[in-house]
Amino acid sequence: MWIISLPIQISEISCEPARLTWLDWTGTAIWFIGFLFESIGDAQLALFKADSRNKGKVMDRGLWRYTRHPNYFGDALLWWGLFVIALSTPGGHWTVISPLIMTGLLMKVSGVALLEKTLTKTKPEYRQYVSRTSAFFPWMPRG
């Protein structure tokens, strides 16, 4: 957690609120977009799962039409936004390790990869969804 939170630690140590830079504003915008992706994606999935008619079906509407994991994508953006904010501080560029680790974990270890192993086995429609929808980065559906 110490390594993952480096951008926050560096920004907090060096923060001078009277001197916000374009990096601070850009990082805040990236963070906010990530927050929206994660919270809207989670809310859309919760509503989908709450409807008993959707049992065993694949969520492929809303943000889920453009990425199979909008919540994980949003989470990664949160960390990239914090990193961009940290760039405005001395030594902030070294904190790039944080979003790199988090994005790697979300894409290859605990997020996308782990969840998709289960979903391809338990939901027959999921393979079709995979063939037309970007795994992580939002993109127009194929086909």
Output the six-digit token pair for 14: 């060096």
Burial 1-29, CB ≥16 within 10 A → b, else e: eeebebbbebbeeeeeeeeeeebbeebee
**Would the pLDDT of 37 be above 90?**
yes
**Looking at per-residue confidence, does 5 or 69 come out higher?**
69
Q: Give residue 117's pLDDT.
A: 85
**Would the pLDDT of 16 be above 70?**
no
pLDDT band at 13 (very low <50, low <70, confident <90, very high): low
Please state the rounded mean pLDDT for residues 96-117. 91
**Would the pLDDT of 8 be above 90?**
no
Q: Over pLDDT 90: what percentage of the chain?
A: 66
